[in-house]
A and B are shown apart, each in its own frame.
Chain A
Amino acid sequence: QKEVEQDPGPLSVPEGAIVSLNCTYSNSAFQYFMWYRQYSRKGPELLMYTYSSGNKEDGRFTAQVDKSSKYISLFIRDSQPSDSATYLCAMKDYGQNFVFGPGTRLSVLP
């Protein structure tokens, strides 16, 4: 089983839709959960950062972490064409083990 799994997509939605992106993981030692956005040929850009379980909201973005199910989600409300990018989940334990998911490619169509 891969350490972090993520549906690669591509996921296409109309402008204004709610987008749901998900990752599952196998390592129960992960404590820090991140979502990064990556535009083509650019570095990842941090969107959301959560420690342990729970929800976090920032503008149109909501991150959810369910450690009991080893499942994390990112919701994007009122999606815009500028949200079109690859979304990477990432996870970290208390040490230096920092693992990215393979990414989901999102297209928001005008």
Chain B
Amino acid sequence: EPEVTQTPSHQVTQMGQEVILRCVPISNHLYFYWYRQILGQKVEFLVSFYNNEISEKSEIFDDQFSVERPDGSNFTLKIRSTKLEDSAMYFCASRASEPGVHTFGSGTRLTVV
């Protein structure tokens, strides 16, 4: 069964450093998403991406965040200057045409120290 692949599975970074989280969505999917889940809290929408541009973003997705689809397969989330409160699981998701059917990756656990 097709999967969304995320790397790395765990990243530790120092406060103020830049991090790039990587995702390979399912190959025939057209819509891409990043979500965040702080430990013990609910999954929160960050950003959606379609046709090589951001289609929607939440209040969480401020100027410190950016997304990119650098080639035909990868989808990245960059955090420019990490803060302690950025520590969370970050999930990438993708979908084809059906609006509610997101396939999630296993996530990257980001720890900011």
Contact = CB atoms under 8 A, between A and B. Distances in A.
Interface of A: 32-34, 36, 41-46, 49, 51, 88, 90, 92, 94-103
B101 A43 contact: no
Say what secondary structure dominates the interface of chain B: strand
B105 A43 contact: yes
Nearest to B109: A41
B87 interface: no
B75 interface: no
Contacts of B4: 43
A32 B99 contact: yes
A32 B4 CA distance: 22
B104 A44 contact: yes
A43 B107 contact: yes
Contacts of A98: 33, 45, 48, 100, 102
A97 B58 CA distance: 9
Contact of B42 (A49, A92, A100): A100
A53 to B, nearest CB: 14
Contact of A103 (B42, B101, B107): B42
B107 A41 contact: yes
Nearest to A102: B42
B33 to A, nearest CB: 8
Interface residues of B, number: 24
Interface in B43-74: 43-45, 48, 55-56
B35 to A, nearest CB: 8
Nearest to B44: A100
Contact of B104 (A45, A92, A95): A45
B41 interface: yes
Contacts of A90: 43, 100
Given A41-B107, A44-B91, A100-B43, A51 B100 contact: yes
B13 interface: no
Given A32-B99, A49-B100, A42 B107 contact: yes
Given A32-B99, A49-B100, 6 more contacts: A43-B4, A43-B91, A43-B106, A46-B102, A98-B100, A100-B42
